[in-house]
């Protein structure tokens, strides 16, 4: 059985000022009381993972998403919070080599993982080829979705290289290639409100071509 002791407090205890002063109740909690108790923070948990090659140790409320851990705790604000529901792709990062929505993942679930954010791809002095291609092809306007677009774009070319199938493929037994249709399909989890899609696809095509 899990230890729920930190939830067991009276409504008065919560209203009177929170965790340290909370009284423990003897009787089982009613629904309303347990609702209030539930809104409190729970005991922080330790987690250790590597971000951009550097080991980081944090102590986090278990509710903290990987996105919030990166932005609010490690101050790596390159990764963006758009919808916070996995619909826009602004929070895309790489974990153990594959792209995920960092907003839909708990930081404490990433013990031992290797995380790469936009800050780990390149620097202003030494851009990643995808970053350089986005600049050259004007693959953004406001720039808010761009870190997620670039992380996703880098991961997409790797997925094509590894033969990960997509909805755009006619023949599932043929290795996919970096065609415009393939890249557009695979980038559908990254929304750009400015509509820079065609330039993003051109930037990706250049990087894919350079690699080929």
Beta strands at 98-101 and 114-116: parallel, antiparallel or unpaired: unpaired
Comparison of 38 and 59: residue with beta carbon closer to another protein: 38
By CB under 8 A, tell whether 56 contacts another protein: no
User: How far is residue 183 CA from its own chain's centroid?
Assistant: 20
By CB under 8 A, tell whether 63 contacts another protein: yes
1 CB-contact burial (10 Å; exposed 0-12 / middle 13-18 / buried 19+) = exposed
Q: Which of 10, 14, 22, 65 binds another protein (CB under 8 A)?
A: 65
DSSP 8-state class, residue 45: E
By CB under 8 A, tell whether 31 contacts another protein: no
Binding track over 113-152 against another protein, x by CB under 8 A: ---------------------------------------x
Question: 3-class DSSP state for residue 174?
Answer: coil
Q: Choose the stretch contacting another protein; rule: CB under 8 A; options: 114-122, 124-132, 182-190, 202-210.
A: 182-190
By CB under 8 A, tell whether 173 contacts another protein: yes
Minimum distance between the CB of residue 91 and another protein, rounded to whole angstroms? 9
Which of 63-81 are b and which e, b meaning 16 or more Cβ less than 10 Å from the residue's Cβ? Answer: ebbbbbbbbeebebebbbb
Residue given tokens 């990643």 in the structure block: 128
171 Cβ partners below 8 Å, 6+ apart?
none
Closest CA to 192 of 157, 153, 142, 155: 142
- Within 74-103, the residues that bind another protein by CB under 8 A are 84-86, 89, 92, 98-101
Residues that bind another protein (CB under 8 A): 1-4, 6-7, 38-43, 45, 61-63, 65, 84-86, 89, 92, 98-101, 104-106, 108-109, 111, 152, 155-156, 159, 162-167, 169, 172-173, 184-190
């Amino acid at each position: 059985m899990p230890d729920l002791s930190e939830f067991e407090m009276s409504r008065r205890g919560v209203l009177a000022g929170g965790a340290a002063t909370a009284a423990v109740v003897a009787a089982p909690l009613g629904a309303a009381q347990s609702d209030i108790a539930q809104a409190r923070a729970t005991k922080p948990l330790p987690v250790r993972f590597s971000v951009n090659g550097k080991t980081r140790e944090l102590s986090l409320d278990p509710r903290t998403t990987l996105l919030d851990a990166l932005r609010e705790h490690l101050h790596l604000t390159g990764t963006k919070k758009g919808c916070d529901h996995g619909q826009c792709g602004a929070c895309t990062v790489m974990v153990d080599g594959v792209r995920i929505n960092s907003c839909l993942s708990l930081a404490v679930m990433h013990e031992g993982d290797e995380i790469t954010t936009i800050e780990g791809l390149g620097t202003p002095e030494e851009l990643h080829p995808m970053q350089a291609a986005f600049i050259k092809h004007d693959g953004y306007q406001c720039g808010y979705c761009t870190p997620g677009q670039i992380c996703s774009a880098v991961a997409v070319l790797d997925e094509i290289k590894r033969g990960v199938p997509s909805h755009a493929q006619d023949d599932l037994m043929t290795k996919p290639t970096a065609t415009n249709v393939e890249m557009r399909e695979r980038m559908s989890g990254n929304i750009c409100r400015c509509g820079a899609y065609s330039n993003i696809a051109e930037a990706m095509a250049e990087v894919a071509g350079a690699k080929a």
